[in-house]
Amino acid sequence: MKNTNSHFSENAYLTYDIIADWYEANRCYSLFEKPLLDKITTLIKPACDILDIGCGTGKPIMEFFLKQGYNMVGVDASVKLLEKAKMNFPEVEFLLEDMRNLNLNRKFDCIIVWHSLFHLPKMDQMKMFQIFEQHIKPNGILLFTSGPQEGEVWSDNGGEQLYHASLSPEQYIELLEANRFKVILHQIQESSLQGATIWLAQKDEI
C-alpha cells in the first residue's frame, strides 16, 4: 500500500500531483452533478462570484458555471492539477493555495468545495467552516461533500492511496449553525450523484 502515512493524509494534494494525468483521464465528465448545479443557479444570479475550492482541472463543474456567465476563482493545492486548469481556462483567476491557509480578503456569492473538503483530516475540516464564513457574502451559498458518516478511509486512485475523512452529520450541522449557515439540502449517498453525500447551505443575511 502506497502513501498511507501521515504526510499524505495531512496533505492529500501531494497524491493528486502524482496521479494528475490519471485523474484527468478518468474523472467523470458526464456532468451528473447538473441537477444540483442547476439549483445553485436558481439561488444566485449570473455574473455573481463563485469560489471553487479544490477546483482540480476545472472540468466539468467550473466549466458549467463559466458557460452560465458566472465569475469564477479557482483554488487548488496541487501544482499539477492547477497547471491543467490554467490550460483549460486561461481567462480564469487561479490560486495555488492550501485551502487551510485561505485569507483572500474577498467575499463570494457561492463557495463550492466538491470532493475536496473530505481530503482534510477531521480537525482541519472543523476549522474550514470559519474560513467559509469569512469568504462568503450574506445569503451566499455553500456546497460541499462529505462522507455518509464519521470515519477515515483510504481508496485506490490510479494506483495510489488517497486519504478521505468525514465528521458525523451532527458535527457538520453544528459547525454550519455556529458559522450562521442554514442547511437547504442534505442528501446521503445520493445515487443520482454517483453516491455523493452533499450539503447545500445558505449564509444568514446579517
Confidence grade of residue 3 (pLDDT, cut at 50, 70, 90): low
Q: Calculate mean pLDDT across residues 23-48.
A: 96
| Average pLDDT of every residue of the chain | 95
pLDDT of residue 8: 72
Rounded distance, CA 21 to CA 16, Å? Answer: 9
* Mean pLDDT value of segment 179-206: 95
Q: Tens digits of per-residue pLDDT, 139-180?
A: 999 999 999 999 999 999 999 999 999 999 999 999 999 999
- Residue-range domains of the chain with CATH: 6-23+31-203 (3.40.50.150)
pLDDT (0 to 100) of residue 19: 97
Give the pLDDT confidence of 76-131 residue by residue, as tens digits.
Answer: 999 999 999 999 999 999 999 999 999 999 999 999 999 999 999 999 999 999 99
Q: How many CB atoms lie within 10 A of CB 7?
A: 8
> What percent of the chain is modeled with pLDDT above 70?
96
Q: Rounded to whole angstroms, what are the CA distances from 186 to 157, 163, 169, 204?
A: 26, 23, 9, 18
Res 9: pLDDT: 73
- The per-residue pLDDT for 156 is 95
What is the C-alpha to C-alpha distance for residues 113 and 97, in angstroms, rounded to an integer?
14
Residue 42: its pLDDT value, please?
A: 97
Query: What is the rounded CA–CA span in Å between residue 199 and residue 39?
Result: 12
Q: At what angle do helices 79-88 and 13-26 cross, to 10 degrees?
A: 40
CA distance readout (Å), 24 to 11, 19, 91: 20, 9, 20
Return the residue matching grid coordinates 457561492: 110
Q: What is the pLDDT of residue 1?
A: 45
What's this model's pTM, rounded to 2 decimal places?
Answer: 0.95
